[in-house]
């Protein structure tokens, strides 16, 4: 991390599920020990509960629903020892959560000052539905799209649901 920062690196992406759930904490500890946390932007992601979450899974804590999003962000904020993150990605698309629920929940988090929002590893059609919905309802849109590689072999992802 020192080499990255010393050479101008100023933004780091992570997720609470990376490296056996420890990467957010490692990054936070590293930035605290180097006293450079105010100079580095931090992105994190939230995703479905995984098999490794079995001890923690609670009712309504699946998918991209409002409760799952809120609990994931709360855990990440504890891990990074901060009251906000610069970018909060929706990681992978979950068709069980409606676009309206997702965008309203994200908007609430943005309004609270805890996050800015993005989406990663979702097909482009999700963004083409979500951003107009947000715009039409006075909500904030996705500001970052970190897409998968969408070549001919991924055309099945483009289908409308």
Q: What is the predicted pLDDT for the residue at 120? A: 86
Q: By the 8 A CB rule, do 83 and 77 touch?
A: yes
Residues 140 and 131: their CA atoms lie apart, in Å, by 8
Structural domains of the chain in order of their starting residue, each with its CATH number:
45-146 (3.20.20.100)
- Tokens (6 digits) for 78: 């504890």
The one catalytic residue among 4, 5, 18, 89: 18
Residues 51 and 32: their CA atoms lie apart, in Å, by 31
- Tokens (6 digits) for 88: 């909060």
Residues 143 and 123: their CA atoms lie apart, in Å, by 15
Q: What is the predicted pLDDT for the residue at 8? A: 92
Q: By the 8 A CB rule, do 110 and 117 touch?
A: yes
pTM above 0.85, yes or no: no
Q: 1 in helix, strand or coil?
A: coil
61 in catalytic set? no
Digitized pLDDT (tens) for each residue of the chain, 161 residues in all: 889 888 999 998 888 777 667 888 888 888 888 888 788 899 998 876 554 555 555 555 566 788 888 888 888 899 899 899 999 988 877 888 899 999 999 999 999 999 988 888 787 888 899 999 999 999 999 988 887 655 445 555 555 44
Q: What is the predicted pLDDT for the residue at 90? A: 87
Which of 18, 15, 120 lies closest to 76 in space, CA to CA? Answer: 15
Q: What is the predicted pLDDT for the residue at 48? A: 64
Q: Provide the residue count of the chain.
A: 161
Strands (E) located in the chain: 11-13, 41-46, 87-91, 117-120, 144-146
Q: How many helices (H) and strands (E) does the chain have?
A: 5, 5
Q: What is the predicted pLDDT for the residue at 152? A: 46
């Amino acid at each position: 991390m020192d080499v990255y920062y010393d050479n101008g690196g100023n933004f780091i992406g992570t997720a609470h599920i990376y490296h056996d759930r420890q990467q957010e904490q490692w990054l936070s500890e590293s930035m605290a020990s180097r006293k450079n946390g105010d100079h580095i932007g931090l992105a994190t992601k939230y995703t479905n509960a995984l098999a490794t979450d079995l001890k923690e899974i609670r009712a309504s804590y699946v998918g991209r629903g409002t409760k799952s999003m809120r609990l994931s962000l709360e855990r990440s904020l504890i891990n990074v020892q901060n009251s906000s993150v610069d970018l909060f990605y929706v990681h992978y698309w979950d068709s069980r959560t409606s676009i309206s629920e997702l965008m309203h929940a994200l908007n609430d988090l943005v309004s609270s000052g805890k996050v800015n929002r993005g989406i990663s590893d979702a097909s482009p059609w999700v963004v083409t539905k979500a951003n107009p919905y947000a715009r039409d309802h006075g909500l904030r849109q996705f500001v970052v799209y970190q897409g998968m590689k969408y070549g001919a072999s991924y055309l099945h992802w483009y289908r409308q649901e």
